[in-house]
Structure 1
Amino acid sequence: MEATLKIWKTNRKIISDLIENYNIEQLNLTPAGFSNNLVWNLGHIVVAQQSLIYRGCGLEANIPVELMELYKPGTKPSGQTTEQQVSVLKDLLLSVIPQTEADFAAGKFERYNERTTGTGFNLATVADAFEFNNYHEGMHLGMMLNIRKFL
């Protein structure tokens, strides 16, 4: 699990650094041919991890419910995200890491509700969910790297 958490933290740092390079207009721009933008990917990454790990274990997420609704799977940008909202997302991107690690160490993730993701991955344990989360975040980082070419 140590390597999985290390990969997760490294990926989050890369995403955080990437977001810092763009202004609010660029973060909100959905280039032609894309269905989302940089800030939507940021929000979706935060929401998906909380859903996969916390909700998958029957626990409450550590982020506001309204964010869960805005960035859950199947959504797309629904308006202009403000600088204040981006600031909240950027903070959550990194601030949920120590909380998740502490909750893992405290044994809060002992029961996982097995499920199959929309992409066909079977998640039977919280370890599966952590590993799938890394795959999922890597996929969205790739999308973000493609989007930035059009900004």
Structure 2
Amino acid sequence: MEERHMILFKQLETYREDVLDSLNGVSAEAAEIVPHNFNNNIRWNMGHIYLDQYLWIESLTKEKTDVPDVFRNWFGYGTTPVHFSAETPSYLELKKLLKEQPVKLMENYGSRLEEVYPPTEMGMRTIEQVLIRTIFHEGIHLQAINDIKKCL
């Protein structure tokens, strides 16, 4: 794997560790609270971070990923915790999925980062470009998690 690709996956891993570190001291109960003036809770942000990377990869490649379709109902754009059901992954399940995801992405897409596809609506043409975008997006939701924590 090229050095720049190794750096990309190291960044994915490091930023994901930042998200997981931000969850230290947050109980499963606290992760369910939607503070006043917020639309979502910590658990929703966790699921959304997880889902977003796969949605962009699917959008680009037109290939199904490992994420179950029902995740869109719980964590997709425009959803809120009111869309959760008894089957929605728990706080602890989401922590596990988030922890495993960077390695799975490297295993599944590490050799495909430069494959060129028709551009997405944002002009991205490679999985590498998609992953760069999702790192930025993850930072937005890390800040949301931190903002919610301040309100708890």
In the other structure, the counterpart of 1:150 is 151
Which SS does the other structure have where 1:110 is aligned?
Answer: coil
Which blocks of at least 5 consecutive residues in structure 1 are unaligned?
none
In the other structure, the counterpart of 2:102 is 97
C-alpha separation in 1, matches of 2:35 and 2:109: 38
C-alpha separation in 2, matches of 1:84 and 1:54: 21
In the other structure, the counterpart of 1:22 is 26
In the other structure, the counterpart of 1:136 is 137
C-alpha separation in 1, matches of 2:108 and 2:117: 14
In the other structure, the counterpart of 1:46 is 50
In the other structure, the counterpart of 2:39 is 35
Contact 2:34-2:41 within 8 A present in 1 as well: yes
Superposed displacement of residue 17, structure 1: 2.1
Equivalent AA in structure 1 for residue 9 of structure 2: L
Number of residue pairs the alignment of both structures matches: 147
C-alpha separation in 2, matches of 1:79 and 1:107: 34
Superposed displacement of residue 111, structure 1: 4.4
Superposed displacement of residue 80, structure 1: 6.5
Contact 1:50-1:61 within 8 A present in 2 as well: yes
Q: Deviations over 1:50-100 (max 9, x none)?
A: 111244212222222222321011111116777962222111102122221
Superposed displacement of residue 48, structure 1: 0.3
Q: 2:91 aligns with which of 86, 91, 102?
A: 86
Superposed displacement of residue 23, structure 1: 1.3
Percent identity of the aligned residues?
A: 24
Which SS does the other structure have where 1:115 is aligned?
Answer: coil
Mark the CA change 1:38 to 1:124 in structure 2 (over 3 Å): closer, same or farther: same
Mark the CA change 1:146 to 1:132 in structure 2 (over 3 Å): closer, same or farther: same
- The root-mean-square deviation of aligned C-alpha atoms, in Å, is 2.3
Superposed displacement of residue 146, structure 1: 0.9
In the other structure, the counterpart of 2:66 is 62
Which blocks of at least 5 consecutive residues in structure 2 are unaligned?
none
TM-score by length of 1: 0.84
